[in-house]
Every structure is written in C-alpha cells, then in structure tokens.
Chain A
Amino acid sequence: MTTKNKLEKKSILEVRGLKTYFYTTDGTVKAVDGVDLDVFPKKTLGIVGESGCGKSITTKSILRLIDYPGRTIEGEVNLKGDTLKDSVDLLKLKQNGTELRQIRGGRISMIFQEPMTSFSPIHTIGNQIIEAIRLHSKLGKSEALEFAEDWLIRVGMSNPSQRLKQYAFELSGGQRQRAMIAMALCTNPDILIADEPTTALDVTTQAQVLDLLKEMQEKNGMSIIMITHDLGVIAELADDVSVMYLGKVVESGTIRQVFKNPKHPYTQALLSSIPSLATGHRERLPILTGTIPHPQARPAGCPFNPRCKDFIEGTCEVSFPNQEIIEEGHLVNCHLYNK
C-alpha cells in the first residue's frame, strides 16, 4: 500500500490489503477484497455498509475467526504495541495458538448483535465473566468475582451480585448487551470490536448502550471498531469512518469529512436516501436505484458501477479505481477523482 498520509497519527491497528474469500461449490465469493483500515488509539472507527459488503467478515478476519469454506488469503493485520517489538501481524500467528488466543479477548475484544447467542445458556453470567477474567490475568477466584461485580457496576447494571448468578435468558436485551460489554472490557483490551451491537435493541435502549460505550471509552481509553448499517449510530459514535461496498472500502476519512463532504457516489446516495431533519413531510427522498448484486455475480471493475449515477463508460466497468486523496485523511476510490 503506497498511500501513507496518516503518518502524523499513529494507528494502533493497521489492516492492509486484507482479502478473505469463500470457496463454495458455486464459485468463489470475494467477501473481503483488499481492505485497508486504520484504527487510532482511543478513537472509534466506524465501518458502515449494507448487507453483503463484508463488514462483519472483515472484523472476523482480523481476529482470525473465519471458518471453512472461507480463507483469508492475503494481507496484513498489524497490531501495534508500545515498541516495534510488541507489534504483531495477526495473520502470521498460528491458528488457535496461545499467542492468538491471548490477543483474542485480551488485547482485542468483541461484542455481537445478539448477546443471547454469545453467552452460553448453561453457565451463569458471573461464571462466564470470571472465566474471561481468569483467562487473561492471574487473579484468584474470589478476586475475579469481586472484579466481575465491579465491572457490572461500571456498565450500570442494577443489583450486580444478583445478576452474576443469573443466566443470559433471564436478562432483558439491554441488560444482556451491558453484560456482554462488561465481559468484553474486563480484560482491559486495547480494541473493542462492536458488530451491530444495537441493531436488535429499541431506540431508547440503543441510546443507553451507545452512551455506555462512549463513557467506557473515555474511562478506559480503548479504541472501538463499530460495525453498523445505521448511519445515525456511526455519526453519533465514530471519529473515523470507512464506507464499504461489496468487499471494498470505497471511501474513508474522519466522520466530518465523509458525512459532510461525501465524495463517492455510493456514500452520497446512502446519506441522501435516509430521512433526516431536513426531510420535509411526504418529501420523496432521492433513491439509489437497483439492488445489491448477488455475491457470486459481482460486477467487474468498480463494484458500484451498475447503480452509479456518475458512471463513466469504458472506465468504471473496466478497472477498480485507485485510491485518491481528497484532503489529508480523506480517501476515496472513484474514477471521478482520478487526476
């Protein structure tokens, strides 16, 4: 990767040229096809995109959680430490080796859309949090219990000692998500990956969880990778944003650069197709024509070209555009800006 215009800001996680393909009997699905990401310390990176854009597969690839028939075939995932020696390329680590397992849940934690399925139904919340704590520290059982209780208080759970003895199905959606966050943060990770953490929740509960994440970031200073299709959630939480479409990052930059001055026709269309405060009553919103292509029938060239309003014949369907720098930190992959 040639563009290194972010040298001033030192990233904590650097993803370069990540490719994860799924080899199914019907052909190869290029779920993630050359993705670059930078996560900065104590900042939130939002990855936004619609279904099939590969946003979840990207984070799963970072944590090496891709199962057969998928395979990460190329790229680098550099997790930076304090010194150069502490830095590791996660893709070079042994699958399921000790080093990788120490990083998973240790330096990088993850929370999911439906915490019901990420908690085991046969163990209490408390036991699972304690297990997570003891896997990544040398605390004894009673210390870990105290620590777990402390964390439940920090994520705003009422009656924590009671909650520790309960099972996941006994909690409401919002409480489960809080418990999930407690479990993810109790190992004091550098990076928290949140995969659509509020999609299954009501707006009021969503607001609570988003506030909690912000508060936790302020107190603990971790970075967050936030995956969502909800542009509002991104605008609320993220400092930087990467817009993905069909396995590629098409635009990235700070939240203000991307949301206030979108350059890629897809980003523009996405932002203008959701109702906002400026939308009048019964006003027709500009719409993005067509639908997201079938994963096995990705268009050649720029994947967005069949739906693009600025389609340039002879160019867009031929090659994927190079990365262009709009201004410092604001990158876009579009032939329109090809100098």
Chain B
Amino acid sequence: MNYLSKIKNKFFSDKIPEEIIVQEDESIQIATQRQLIWRRFKRHRLGFASSIVVILFYVVVLFADFLATSVPVHYGAARGFMPPQPIKFFQEGDFLSVCHVIGERNLESFRMEHTADCNNREPLQLFGKGYEYKLWGLFKTDRHLFAMKNPDANVDEWIHLMGTDKQGRDVFSRVMHGTRVSLTIGIIGVGLSIVFGIFIGSISGYYGGLIDSLLQRFIEIIRSVPTIPLYMGFSAAFPADWTINQVYFMITVIISLFAWTDLARVIRGRFLSLRDEDFVVAARLNGASTMRIVFVHMLPSFYSHIIAQASLALPLMIVTETSLSYLGLGLRPPAISYGVLLKDAQNVQAVAHSPWLFLPAIFVIVVILALNFMGDGIRDAADPYQEV
C-alpha cells in the first residue's frame, strides 16, 4: 500500500475540517418544521386551493346572519316553490337588482307557475339594512350583504336568490344557516374527539402493555357497535321538551363519542413508534420527566398528523350529521342543517318540479371534497423527513 503513504501527507490535517454547507438557502435551514410544512403545503395545489374553499365555508359559519337575506324560518304559503330569481347588474342606474317573479296558478294542472319579469326589478343594496340580529350573540345589528334599497319593502317577499321551499322560506338564507349548524357540529365534534383521542391514545401508547391491550379491546368494542340503531335509540331518548340547542349539543357529543376511536388509534401508533425514537431515548437518558418527553418531544412531533387526521375526520362528522338529520334521527325542524334541508328534497316530485331544493347537496359535496383534499394536503406536507 505505498500509494497510501504517498498521498497521506497531502490529506492529513490535525484540524477538524470546516464543514461546507452546500444548501445555500439560509431561510430553509433556519425554518422550523411548521414553516417547512407550510412551504410544502403551499406547493400542494389541490390541497391549498381546497383550504381556501374551506376557509370560505367557515366565513359563512361566522357570518351566516350577515349573508342571509331573510329570517330563515319566515314562511308564507303564497310564495311556495318559487324558482331562483334572475339577477341583473347595472340596470338603469342600479348596481344590482333582482327581477320580480310572478306566480300564477295553472288552471288545468292546478300548479303554481312562476315567470320572471325582468322589466320589473327590485333594486338591491350592498351592506344595506335588513332584519335585526345579534352577530355572534354579541353585537346587535341589521346590516346584511344584500338588502332592499326600498326600506319599506318586505324582504321575505322579494329576495329569493336560490328560490323558496314549499312553505315559501328563502332557500339561500336557509343554506347559510344550515352551513353554520352543520359545520360547527363538525368542528366541535372533531374537537371533542381530539381530546378523547389524545387522552386515550397517549395513555395507551405511552404505557403499552396491559393498559394498552385493555384500551385497544375497549376501542374495538365501541367500533363494533352498529351505529344507526344506537343513534335511533339516543334520538328517541331525547326528551321532547328539549330546546333546539340542547338537541344540537347532544348530537355533537354522540357523534364524537364514536368518532374518537380512529384518532386514538393513530395517536397510539405514533406514540408507540416515537417511544423508541432515538431523540426520545436521548431526552430520557438525560433525565427528562415524562411530562417533558410527552409535551416537548412527542406531541409536537405529530401535531401536524393530528391536524391532518382531524381535517379528514371533519367531513365524516358532517356527513354523519347530515345523514342522521336526513333520516329524522338528528336535528329536526325548526332547526336548520344540511340534513334538514335535504329532507325537503326527499321526494321525487319536489326534485322534478323544484330542482333548486337540491342546491344544499352541492354545498355538502363541495365542502366534503374540499376538506378531504385539504386533509390529504396537510398529511403529505407533514411528513418530517421528506425532502425540502
């Protein structure tokens, strides 16, 4: 090996070499995991676009009353089954106006027939005055996104952007309120199942052994209970004199009682794999307490997974609520939710003659897809060892 001795002097140095960092982008090197996840998520086009849709939906949740034109429970038999109104822009000095829709009973079929008369229009005003409501239960106001210019006109009579239902209630306003109810049930339900899931999942995963086995069997038992009959039982057990709010709260709790098991399993799995991860062992050998290990080292390592899992659980919650209400087991009128709204579109006749009653379904589909894509996007972005 004489070449070795020859070249040895060239290489040999007592000094530890200064390392060369080739990756020049300083911002990436000092970026936290959260920033990296955000960077990757922005690059996930479908997920990012879907998250904008989801945000829009939650804006609706926050401002349902502001967006609604009329009180969603105001009815009038005379204006039942009105189709969506044509909307006109920049007509005769009015920025926005809606055409009158005139109903006439067909004397042969005895059915109301509606025609839009765009020569008679009702001018609209943005941020005008409408019915009075309390924003977030705090501020009394009567401002709405769309309101009548004419302060004396009855909104219930004139603005039906998405038509009316059988009782003449404004579908658009009802969808806005339904969105609020359905999406809050989703988010509160997910919140509750995250709490249950993290609690049970961490105990199961951190301690392992017998506790883990028992908790896992418990989860399996819960998962094996057929849900629909159980919901029926619960629903029947609700006292008849409960207010809408009480029923609403109980439905949320019941849904999350069954939904937490998935999350608990995911968290348990992450705990089990992280427990033996070297950096956790290192912290333990340096005398870190159990609390510090769980809250400083373990939980932060998968909160992005929890967020991803939660955003994938959300649509499931919404669908569950919708299905339950549709079957009459969940919320019941006068409460409004996607399920309640779709119940109106139950019979074929309604769909055939007044297809706009089916519009809430489109909202359900859009929000569910958007939540799913967003969840996928977060999950993909959250993989900590992916290339930057």
Contact = CB atoms under 8 A, between A and B. Distances in A.
Do any CB atoms of chain A lie under 8 A from CB atoms of chain B in the complex? yes
Interface of A: 24-26, 260-262, 268-269, 271-272, 276, 278, 284, 286-291, 293-294, 297, 299, 306-307, 309
B17 interface: yes
Contacts of B43: 25
A297 B24 contact: yes
A272 B7 contact: yes
Nearest to A290: B20
Contact of B22 (A261, A287, A294): A294
Interface stretch (B8-16, B196-204, B216-224): B8-16
B1 interface: yes
A249 B13 CA distance: 28
Contacts of A290: 17, 19-20
Contacts of A286: 7-8, 10-12
Contact of A309 (B4, B11, B24): B11
A306 B17 CA distance: 13
B3 interface: yes
A211 B118 CA distance: 91
18 contacts: A25-B43, A26-B387, A261-B3, A268-B7, A271-B4, A272-B7, A272-B11, A276-B1, A276-B4, A278-B1, A284-B12, A286-B10, A286-B12, A287-B13, A287-B17, A289-B20, A291-B22, A293-B22
Interface string B30-72: 0000000000000100000000000000000000000000000
B46 to A, nearest CB: 14
Contacts of B388: 26
Given A272-B4, A278-B1, A278-B4, A309 B10 contact: yes
Chain B interface main SS type: loop
Nearest to B388: A26
Contacts of B1: 276, 278
Contacts of B12: 284, 286
B388 to A, nearest CB: 8
A260 B1 CA distance: 7
- Chain B interface size range: 10 to 19
A250 B8 CA distance: 21
B23 interface: yes
A262 B3 contact: yes
Given A284-B12, A286-B8, A260 B19 contact: no
Contacts of A287: 11, 13, 17
A294 B7 contact: no
A306 B3 CA distance: 23
Contacts of B10: 286, 309
Most chain B CB atoms below 10 A, which of A278, A294, A306: A294
Given A272-B7, A297-B23, 18 more contacts: A25-B43, A262-B3, A268-B7, A269-B11, A271-B4, A272-B8, A272-B11, A278-B4, A284-B14, A286-B10, A286-B11, A286-B12, A287-B13, A290-B20, A291-B20, A299-B22, A306-B22, A309-B10
B7 A306 contact: no
A65 B17 CA distance: 39
Contacts of A261: 3
B17 to A, nearest CB: 4
B205 to A, nearest CB: 25
A3 B4 CA distance: 30
Nearest to B25: A297
Nearest to A278: B1
A307 B20 CA distance: 9
Which 9 A-B pairs give the minimum distances between C-beta atoms? A286-B11, A289-B17, A293-B22, A290-B20, A297-B22, A278-B1, A294-B23, A294-B22, A286-B8
A272 B14 CA distance: 16
A261 B7 CA distance: 12
Most chain B CB atoms below 10 A, which of A269, A272, A288: A272
Contacts of B4: 271-272, 276, 278
B3 A260 contact: yes
A130 to B, nearest CB: 37
A268 B12 CA distance: 13
Nearest to A29: B387
B215 to A, nearest CB: 28
Nearest to A306: B20
Contacts of B13: 287
A278 B388 CA distance: 42
Interface in B350-388: 387-388
A104 B264 CA distance: 45
B272 to A, nearest CB: 20
Nearest to A293: B22
Contact of B19 (A26, A278, A291): A291
A12 to B, nearest CB: 32
Contacts of A307: 20
A271 B7 CA distance: 11
Interface string B281-311: 0000000000000000000000000000000
Nearest to B10: A309
A278 B6 CA distance: 13
A26 B197 CA distance: 37
Nearest to A307: B20
Nearest to A286: B11
